[in-house]
Amino acid sequence: MTLKALGAFLFETFKLVLVSLLIIVPIRYFVVQPFFVLGASMEPTFQNGDYLIIDEISYLTGSPKRGDVIVFHYPYNTKQFYIKRIVGLPGEILVLDDKGITVKNKENPEGFALSEEYLPVKEEYGNMTATLGSDEYFVMGDNRDASSDSRRWGALKREFIVGKVLVRAFPFQKMEAF
């Protein structure tokens, strides 16, 4: 290989790497984010060590919905990320008791029992009532007995939400979109 050919090869390689970085870096930092599940709080939906891709764009134009599994900054240590499911929306009142979760809102002032098909067995909820502000969400882990969530540290403000789970990418045999 001549010096001229080597120089052309290195220049083309540099251009390829530069273009790749210009595409990949903005996507990684502004569109999607990888996330490893740590702990058992979202079992059986997600297991410790699952590798997820988080959608950071959806909530820029829309609002989180009940049932969405989200990743957020823990309000008392924003360097920590948590993963939980949204069970209560802004402006709602949630009543947790032995029977489950009752949600009261403008559309249902008498309340309705929250249906949680994603839970394999009836979980313990504790006894409490939570009134959510206009930018607050009530979040819980699917493994209620092993979850530090809104029952312990209160409602989650919208500003802490990073995004929602888009895809479980690993383990491969459990890969799926959400």
Distance in angstroms (rounded) separating the CA atoms of residues 69 and 81 = 13
Q: Could you say which of 41, 147, 150, 164 is catalytic?
A: 41
To the query of whether residue 63 is one of the catalytic residues in this protein, the response is no
Type of residue at 105: N
Q: What is the pLDDT of residues 41-60, one digit of tens each?
A: 999 999 999 999 999 998 98
Q: Could you say which of 15, 65, 79, 84 is catalytic?
A: 84
Distance in angstroms (rounded) separating the CA atoms of residues 131 and 137 = 10
To the query of whether residue 41 is one of the catalytic residues in this protein, the response is yes
Q: Greater confidence, 12 or 36?
A: 36
Determine contact, residues 69/83, Cβ cutoff 8 Å: yes
Question: In the predicted model, is pLDDT for residue 86 greater than 90?
Answer: yes
Q: What is the pLDDT of residues 103-150, one digit of tens each?
A: 999 999 999 999 888 777 666 667 899 999 999 999 999 998 889 999
**pLDDT for res 30:** 64
